C-alpha cells in the first residue's frame, strides 16, 4: 500500500553519562526496515530497545552513525522538520499507554488527525469501532481498563495513517490474554495499512507474528531471524 518507505540505520551508537560512569547503550547498530515489514526487537531491560526506537523517531539523537527515514538523514533535519516528520509519518504505542488524561477517548484518537489538519471525526470513529470500543467516545482514559486504554493508544497511533509504527513493549503492562488480543489488533491493523513496524518486546507472541526478529544485547544486534 505504501511503497518506498524505508528506515535505515548505519553504525548508530549512543551512550549516557551520569557524571561518573559512561554507559554504552547502543553500539554500532545497523538496521533496515522496509515498507510493510514487521520487525521485533528482543532484549533484556536496559539493552537499548527504547533508545533505539527513540532514535528512529527522532526523539533522541545518536552519538554516532546515521539514521535515514524515507531517504532523509535525520541529523540533517531541523527539530521542527523532525517533529513534522513524526506528525505525518510515525505512530507511537507505549507500554504505559500514555493517553492524554484530559481528552476523551475519541479526542485522543482525533489528536493526530487534527495535528495534520484533518477535522473530520469520521476516521477516528471508524477506528474506535475497529478497536471494539464504539460507544465509549465520551469516556476519559481513566474510566477504561488497561487493555482498553492500549486499544485506544493503537487507534491513536494509526489514526493519521503513519508509514512507520513504533511500539515500545505494547503488551508489557497487560495480562497475557489481553496482551494477545491487543497484539492481534495491532498487527492486523498495521498489516492492513501496509506500514512498517518496529516493536520492542519481551513477548514470544510478538516473535511469532514478526517478519524478522532481532536481539539486542549490550547495545549491539546480537542475532536475527
Report the Cα 141 to chain-centroid distance in Å.
Answer: 20
The contacts found for 82-87 with CB under 8 angstroms, 24 or more apart, are 82/58, 83/58, 85/58, 86/57, 86/58, 86/59, 87/112, 87/115, 87/116, 87/160
Q: Does 5 bind other proteins (CB under 8 A)?
A: no
73 exposure class (CB count in 10 Å sphere: 0-12, 13-18, 19+) = exposed
**Which grid coordinates belong to 75?**
541529523
Among the listed ranges 41-49, 85-93, 180-188, 211-219, the one in contact with other proteins (CB under 8 A) is 85-93
Q: Does 178 bind other proteins (CB under 8 A)?
A: no
Could you give the angle at the alpha carbon of 23 between the alpha carbons of 21 and 27, nearest 5°?
150
Interface with other proteins (CB under 8 A), residue total 28
Q: Does 54 bind other proteins (CB under 8 A)?
A: yes
Q: Does 84 bind other proteins (CB under 8 A)?
A: yes
Q: Does 103 bind other proteins (CB under 8 A)?
A: yes
Which of 94, 136, 151, 163 is the binder for other proteins (CB under 8 A)?
94
**Nearer Cβ to other proteins, position 167 or 213?**
167
d(CA 170, CA 183): 8
Q: Does 98 bind other proteins (CB under 8 A)?
A: yes
Which of 83, 123, 181, 191 is the binder for other proteins (CB under 8 A)?
83
168 exposure class (CB count in 10 Å sphere: 0-12, 13-18, 19+) = buried
CB of 118 to other proteins, least distance (A): 11
**Nearer Cβ to other proteins, position 59 or 180?**
59
CB atoms within 10 A of CB 167: 30
Residues that bind other proteins (CB under 8 A): 54, 57, 59-60, 79-80, 83-88, 90, 92, 94, 96, 98, 100-103, 107, 110-112, 114-115, 156
Amino acid at each position: 500500500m505504501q511503497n518506498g518507505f524505508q528506515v535505515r540505520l548505519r553504525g548508530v551508537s549512543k551512550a549516557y553519562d551520569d557524571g561518573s560512569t559512561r554507559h554504552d547503550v547502543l553500539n554500532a547498530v545497523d538496521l533496515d526496515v522496509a515498507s510493510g515489514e514487521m520487525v521485533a526487537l528482543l532484549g533484556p531491560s536496559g539493552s537499548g530497545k527504547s533508545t533505539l526506537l527513540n532514535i528512529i523517531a527522532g526523539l533522541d539523537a545518536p552519538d554516532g552513525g546515521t539514521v535515514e527515514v524515507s531517504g532523509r538523514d535525520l541529523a540533517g533535519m531541523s527539530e521542527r522538520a523532525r517533529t513534522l516528520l513524526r506528525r505525518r509519518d510515525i505512530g507511537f504505542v507505549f507500554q504505559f499507554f500514555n493517553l492524554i488524561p484530559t481528552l476523551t477517548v475519541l479526542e485522543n484518537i482525533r489528536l493526530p488527525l487534527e495535528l495534520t489538519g484533518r477535522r473530520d471525526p469520521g476516521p477516528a470513529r471508524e477506528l474506535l469501532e475497529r478497536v471494539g470500543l464504539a460507544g465509549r467516545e465520551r469516556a476519559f482514559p481513566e474510566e477504561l481498563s488497561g487493555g482498553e486504554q492500549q486499544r485506544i493508544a493503537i487507534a491513536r497511533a494509526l489514526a493519521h495513517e503513519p508509514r512507520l509504527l513504533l511500539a515500545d513493549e505494547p503488551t508489557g503492562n497487560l495480562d497475557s490474554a489481553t496482551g494477545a488480543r491487543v497484539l492481534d489488533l495491532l498487527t492486523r491493523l498495521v498489516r492492513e495499512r501496509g506500514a512498517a513496524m518496529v516493536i520492542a518486546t519481551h513477548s514470544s507472541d510478538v516473535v511469532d507474528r514478526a517478519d524478522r526478529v532481532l536481539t539486542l544485547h549490550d547495545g549491539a544486534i546480537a542475532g536475527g531471524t
